[in-house]
Structure 1
Amino acid sequence: MKVWACAALLLGSWAGAQALPKTVRERIIQATVMLLPTDEEGELDGSLGSGSVISPQGFILTNYHVVGDPDTRQLSKWIQVRVVQFADREPVFTYWGKVVAADPNLDLAIVQIVEDRNEKPVGKLNLPFVEVGDSNTLSIGDDIYVFGFQGTGGMTLSFSRGSVGGFTGEDLNTSGRQWVKHDAQTGPGNSGGGVFDENGALVGVHSAGVAGDHNSRTSFMRPLALAWGLITPNVTGFVVRKGGGAAVTPSTNTSAGAGGGVWPPALATGRASVTGTVRVTGGAAAGTWTTDFTEVTDDGSLKGRARSGSKDQTAFFYYNEDDNEVWVEWTPDGKAYSSCVVEPSGVKAGSGDWTGSLYAFPNLESDGTRTGDCVVSLRAKTSGTSTSTSTTAAPAGTWPPALAAGQTWTVTFSQGGAYSVKLGAKDSDGDYPGTATQGGKTSNALFTLDGQSLLMIVGQADKTFHTCTVDRTLRGSARAYQDSKDPGVAAGTCTLASGAAAASTGSAAPALKWPLALKVGQRWDVSFPGVGTFTVSLDEPDEDSGFSGAATRGNEKGSVLMDADASELLVIVQRTDKTFLVCSADKGGLSAGSVKGDATSHRDSKDKGTSLGSCTVTPR
């Protein structure tokens, strides 16, 4: 009896470790959707898959092959989204979605809900969603849980559990972590559905099942680490859960004030005119540094001065989304830096101070060395202490902001540079038309408040336009449109800041001249529709007249060849799977701060390529 009692206790403990709490399961169930793509006529094409809502604003992570054809690189025009209302019934057709980002090589895609089933715009959504986890922490034997519409036993939602069986490379034979093997029961309809860890965080997308060679069927998921290149520039409102700790929200705040326990602090997300101190203990930078940030840079960080005694240095203040940290750093020469790094645990509710760690960087290529601790005390400047000009500034620190005629704002597009926007009088629809200036050129703009989102529209002389949609962090997603009938494509990220910045003089987006003058050390952003934006760095001249270098997009690392002459700009990005993307542009695609061209995708050097649409090349 004693042996049986011990065995029962052990089995009970094992079962407890395997169980996902009911409240967590219910949340995942509500955030798991069925996706049904349509053909050219808007009719269902007979295929279906699953997806996970990763943002309350209606963004869904799924497989590329659920919403498109990886062979032809053609995406479905519209995606029918069905949601679970009751676990014992089939999901209900509720929304229409469109693909806003996709990568056929990774077999991953992002769908955004844009209309209800009656084809009316949805406005602001507040949907059940799942938290995003860290797939890099997965180990063999870890418990995983799969949700989706596998088709076994009908089209109601199915749940299965299993464990991580191993890792493998892209070709399913070599070493690597491009695929994660698992043994949970799955079916074809599970494609695109979520795989979750023991905390209920999304760590993968179920993508394939393989059987044969005298082996039992093995399921494969794409680890979430491969999806960051799609999620970060295209999705707002997602929540990151690191390890087993509390969830961290990188793109939605509940308070605009500093030190309120909200992460990231709103002051670190693109607001101009911030002042305060950084108190440092330990190391050569010990002392109190008075900081004054007055300029918004191209990437949305703040730039200003840091002073301590006779020392007067250039300073920067920004939120590092990749590492989920806030950085305040200063440099005497642009090479060596002192950096105060604040993590979410350093921002306490009810305190105006943020505690962090001080690191010293001898140069940009070196790893930092921790030299001490630091305490950051910052605040938004009031009108009495602001150094802005007499132009009316938009109010900082309140949400939603009170828009008014005469205000100035700066909108910065990651793929189009910065514009200084001045608002005119409110129109009959309650919106604020205005003018946008960049590099001496002026175009039309429109600013509107839609629920809890701000929308800025910046037009061009050729009838194309960009939109920037942000939440209270003043950071969000950008889209590019060919005309008013175009559904638009994702165009990276964007930020809004109160007050005019250097965009009005053109310094935030330097004017480009044709032909482009390429040289070693330059960095460019190259945006491909349906794939994303690669940051390329030119490292050395090649054998001809071009330059070779590195191309990165999220965790993906490839190589680049870039060449420019009097007639053409050519950018070739080779990816890790040996496929490559090409952006070709001529002088007609040149604007003040970027170059637009034609994008194609190629399987190999013999493939003539598939058109992807319009690509954009922008200097960093």
Structure 2
Amino acid sequence: MTKNRKILIAAILLTGLCSVSLAAVLLFNSPIFKPAEKSPTPVVISTIQTELNLSNLKITRTPFAGKRSIPFQSVVLITALYYENGSLQEGWTGSGTFITKDGLILTNAHVVLSDENFKVDMLTIAPTVSADEKPQPSYIAKVVQADASLDLAILKIASDLNGNPVDPKTLNFPAVKLGDSDSLTLGDKLTILGYPGIGGDTITLTSGEVAGFTGETGIGNRAFIKTSATIAGGNSGGLAANDAGELVGIPTQLGSGSDTGIVDCRNLADTNGDGVIDENDTCIPTGGFINSLRPVNLARPLIEAAKRGEVNILSDSEAPSKEESPDSGGVLYTDDFSTTNTGWTVQNDTDGYVGYGDRNYIIQVTSPQMILSGTSGYEAANVVIDVSVQVIQGTGKGDFGLICRQQSDGSNYAFEIREDGYASIWKNNSGTISPLVDWKYFPEVQQNSIKRLTAACVGRQLGLGIDGKMLISTSDSDFSTGDTGLIAGTWDIAGLTVAFDDFQIRSPK
């Protein structure tokens, strides 16, 4: 199967969801708009057969509680900068929250740590002064605590924009009070504050409710708080407050009704029409809407360590594996490709070759920005898939791996590693690609040797491992069963050839 990467990687335009509120009606009926109540006059509604005396009905009205506490001045705009040709360029933006008066800021790790494209050289902080004013960068901050596996980080104000050190004792930022995320229940009100990168340059507020909770291996049943609030990318790292104005969650994860990967405002489209996607293009939000919050209680150990003056930055490649590759049961299907009539896809055209070759299964991609795949014809729901893989001819950035639950229209889950040491899990939904786990660097992936890849598709849980070690995992429920297979693709440089061998499908224990 051929897919054009340029088309598939196109950013998903965001659409807002509008809701109609009945608050005005309720407020009109509330006691503050009514004179002192008198004894009700009975009202009789007559029909041909019945009578209903409304004076006998008792209505309990929720007392008017006044305005919510909205700690918007605790929120900051974070800008990640990198050096190019001796000058600082903007990489991306995110949000954060002052949690101490002397300048500690809680945010997401992916907002402040380097990624595959940019090395973060400076982080600027723009405090919120007014709800109707664009915040101005005023300070430089440094990372003092980070845990990429939780996607949480703590920053500390270090200097002014000229590099002059700032004495923490002289600072008096409007720090937000921390709440107890374990006390949240379904239906609790949430206020979300941040800088989403769409809808203007000022702070943005959206409201919603606690819609549920999502568990994660090694963390527990409250790894994420699901919310009904609509939150655009760029709000990552911002503030989710309860009615008391206490911080209870950090906008972290996104999707459209399911848990997916992370989005932010980044340079991912040729907005200026010069034919190149680079720092000269407009930073745009991508992928969808954030729909999950990290509970603030997960950040408390990092916060306490930062208050003690400790520095500890745990990046993706350093993060300990939560588990080894999943245990599996009996073998369901195996193919060593020693014969050429086992039912796998065979395709040969101008974009490359997919099929049997020299007792292997070969994917050769001869066009740039192209993804090719082949399927086994073995359909399954819950499986663990293994394959040995070797790059015969590389491009420096070619990607390759496994697929599961492929649908008749080509939709599937893909589990890939890349020649330069990155790993990712992504979803192709009717031709639209969205990352479930964006590309993360692992030193063991970059080693030039034959590797044994493992993909786990068990219920909603999806995982990618290499040589018996789990690298990344996520969850999604769009596809429950489908075909299995192999995949490889190129970026700007064509000419990738990958050989696969000893393909095996096992049942999970």
Q: TM-score range by the shorter chain?
A: 0.3 to 0.5
Q: Which has the higher contact order (CA 8 A, sep 6+)?
A: 2
TM-score (norm 1): 0.36
TM-score (norm 2): 0.44
Flag the structure with larger Rg: 2
